[in-house]
Amino acid sequence: MSKMTLGSHPFLLGFDQLERLVERTAKADAGGYPPYNIEHTDENSYRITLAVAGFADEELSITLENTQLVIRGRQSDDDQGRVFLHRGIAARQFQRSFVLADGVEVSGAKVENGLLHVDLERSVPETVVQEIKIRKG
């Protein structure tokens, strides 16, 4: 018996990319730095919050390409001439990716108390009813 994939089900026409999207999302979540929260703030609003203590605003970047939201942090190396007796605060770069559904857009971002908040809004599409004419012959 062969395994039926989501994209090959006869009632799910046009959803063949969904399985690849789920696999890509699972790979993007590998690793745990920096920690993050995802909140449902309103009926059509979400907020992603990342712990970015120690990062200046200019060391953070947020890009959106198609449906992939990518948040990166890269701290500048300012350890020149400093002698650490103990170094427990890691200064490492990071990249976090989130796949957004169609119609979800970034409405803003801000850094507050060491947390980066990225606000998302889902636009509600209008209901469209279209009648299809049946041709003869």
Yes or no: say if 107 and 62 are a contact pair by the CB < 8 Å rule.
no
Whole-model pTM: value is 0.72
pLDDT value at 103 more than 60:
yes
Residue-level pLDDT at 114:
93
pLDDT top residue among 30 and 18: 18
Q: Which element (helix H / strand E) includes 90?
A: none
| DSSP per-residue string spanning 51-73 | E-TT--GGGEEEEEETTEEEEEE
Query: Amino acid letter at 100?
Result: L
Q: Which CATH architecture has domain 32-122?
A: Sandwich (2.60)
From CA 115, how far away is CA 117, in angstroms rounded?
6
Q: Which element (helix H / strand E) includes 25?
A: helix 18-28
pLDDT-based confidence at residue 100 (cuts at 50, 70, 90): very high
For the segment 84-105, the average pLDDT, to the nearest whole number, is 87
Residue-level pLDDT at 40:
95
Delimit the domains of the chain by residue range.
Answer: 32-122
Residue-level pLDDT at 67:
87
